[in-house]
């Protein structure tokens, strides 16, 4: 069974490679959406996320790494 599986696997690989080569031969060499707008969308999205993060940090009053030491006091135990 091992030689049969190996033959089938190699045969499928060769067929898929042939399909890819044939598909690439039929495409026209014009640029697509990603070639035209990909970098600008990446830069715009990164800028949007960075500005949102900066606004969140500066305007929302986030306090970082507060230690509860000295702020938390234990309450008396009730045995009711």
Is the pLDDT at 55 greater than 60? The verdict is yes
Angle at 5 between CA 21 and CA 16, to 5 degrees: 10
CA-to-CA dists, residue 63 to 2, 32, 60, 66, angstroms: 63, 46, 9, 7
Question: How many Å apart are CA 45 and CA 43, to the nearest integer?
Answer: 6
| Predicted confidence band of residue 69 (pLDDT cuts 50, 70, 90) | confident
To the question of pTM greater than 0.75 for the whole model, the response is: no
Among 6-15, 29-38, 69-78, the range of highest mean pLDDT:
29-38
| Predicted confidence band of residue 7 (pLDDT cuts 50, 70, 90) | low
Q: What is the mean pLDDT of the chain?
A: 76
Answer whether 62's CB lies under 8 Å from 54's CB: no
């Amino acid at each position: 069974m091992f030689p049969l599986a190996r033959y089938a696997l190699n045969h499928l690989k060769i067929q898929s490679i042939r399909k890819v080569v044939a598909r690439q031969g039929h495409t026209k060499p014009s640029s697509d959406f990603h070639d035209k707008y990909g970098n600008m969308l990446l830069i715009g999205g990164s800028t949007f996320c960075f500005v949102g993060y900066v606004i969140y940090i500066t305007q929302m009053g986030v306090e970082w790494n507060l230690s509860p030491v000295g702020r938390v006091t234990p309450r008396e135990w009730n045995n009711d």
